[in-house]
Amino acid sequence: MAEIVLFHHSGGLTDGVLDLAEKLRIVGHTVHTPDLFEGRTFGKVEEGVAYANEVGEETFADRASAFVDTLSTDELVYGGLSMGCARAAEQVLFRDGALAAFFLYGVADPAWWDKTWPADVPAEAHLTEEDPWREPEAEEGFVKHIPKHDLFTYPGEGHLFLEPGHPDYDEELAHIVTSSIIDFLDEV
């Protein structure tokens, strides 16, 4: 079973993020959920993005790294949800020992950091086709710069489609994507 660090989206460490972590724990994985927003949560993506812009990416990168520094192993899987994708990718790119990465609601392009993705670290990403927060250039970079990758796009326009209680939630898609992540982790 994998040890996973799951970085939350711009809503913060919401019940939906914790729900995904619990689903992964139920099948036997150890899941860490660092709270990079220090207790703040936001109901709208725009509110969380505004907060993140106010505080600054560097602060969240530092908090993510400080959290991972407290763990007893480097052999980790990193998961990122939307803005958390960058935090997950940073850990793969700047630390040794990553086993894999998965991304929800977006992707990260290693070229953003001018770094080379480790050839032996697989990654998969899941997003909807009409997501208003979708970044096609980042997806192109994900495909181009990550040797072992799978990019899954699904019909729909919801951003936080795995987040119960959020207007974007799609129960059927949430089940499909959660099952895919579990299958991916089984191969790690």
Please give the Cα distance from 106 to 84 (Å, whole number).
9
Q: For the chain, what percent of residues have pLDDT higher than 90?
A: 97
Confidence band for 181, pLDDT divided at 50, 70 and 90: very high
What CATH number should be reported for the domain holding residue 53? 3.40.50.1820
Full-model pTM:
0.96
Residue 55 CB burial class (10 angstroms; 0-12, 13-18, ≥19): middle
Question: What is the Cα–Cα distance from 184 to 60, expressed in whole angstroms?
Answer: 27
**For residue 34, what pLDDT band results from cuts at 50, 70 and 90?**
very high
For 149, half-sphere exposure in the C-beta direction (CA atoms, 13 angstrom radius) is: 20
State the pLDDT confidence band at 172, using cuts at 50, 70 and 90. very high
Tell me the residue range of the domain where 168 lies: 3-186
What's the longest Cα–Cα distance across the chain?
A: 40
- Average pLDDT estimate for 25-51: 96
Q: What is the pLDDT of residues 50-97, one digit of tens each?
A: 999 999 989 999 999 999 999 999 899 999 999 999 999 999 999 999
Asked if 82 contacts 159 with a C-beta cutoff of 8 angstroms, the reply is yes
Supply the pLDDT for residue 79: 98
Q: How many domains does the chain have?
A: 1
How many angstroms separate the CA atoms of 62 and 150, rounded? 28
- Residue 155's pLDDT band, with cuts at 50, 70 and 90, is very high
pLDDT at residue 171, rounded to an integer: 96
Q: What is the pLDDT of residue 61?
A: 97
